[in-house]
Amino acid sequence: MLNTTDELARGSRLSRNTVLNLVGQCAPLLVAIFAIPLLIRGLGTDRFGVLTLAWVVIGYFSLFDLGQQDTNFLDTVAREAAPEGFDIIIDDASHIGDISKITFWHLFDNHLKPGGIYVIEDWRTGYWDKWIDGARYKKTKESKIIRPFIHGFVGKCLNFTETNLKGGRIKRTIVSCFGRIKRVTYKYHFPSHNFGMVGFVKELVDELGV
């Protein structure tokens, strides 16, 4: 049952990524249909010709864009280096959360063998103020009096009710109310640091837990 669930989840992510890639390919074409006539009208045919040549040159340079988020490049490398899948993948590339996330899910879903190992290097950059998507960890202040006081007070009321009141509907209602209050006060959201690579790694922890 677990394997079936994992396969369905991976299939869902693969379908979603395929749709997003198609949208990413088609969106510029739709924009160009409306934008290019406006550019020709505003620049004139001569200047637009120069701009077109510049676009061609930039397009050639893009052939050498081997960024780790380039899923086509990742597929090519995987087909040539490990057609049957990788035993271990080590991500020691950009150290940027959004980019590393794209790489991870593509390789994990498509090119890592079952039981394989995926290592993410240097995710501590998420704690660096000067890093592009990092931030210094700031510990939040919390009252050390209010929560313990509530816990103790509710606990005493609960014990008193269970010990001194006679059984019946009223007692059950009071005990139930105090029990709910006690559970709510213990459902505590711990302060957490969610920037950059740190946030991405925590998303993976949530994924594993769920």
Domain ranges of the chain: 1-63, 66-137, 146-186
Nearest to 86 by CA among 102, 64, 106: 106
Helix (H) or strand (E) holding 55: helix 45-62
Token digits of residue 125: 């950059």
SS3 label, residue 93: coil
**Residue 6 backbone class (left: φ over 0; alpha: ψ -120 to 50; beta: rest):** alpha
Q: What 3-state class would DSSP assign to 119?
A: strand
For residues 116 and 89, the answer to whether their CB atoms sit within 8 Å is yes
Query: What is the block-wise mean pLDDT of the chain (210 residues), using blocks of 10 residues?
Result: 52 66 76 82 82 73 66 91 92 91 94 94 91 87 72 81 78 82 75 91 90
Residue 13, pLDDT score: 60
Closest by CA position to 104, among listed 90, 123, 125, 85: 90
User: What pLDDT does 112 receive?
Assistant: 95
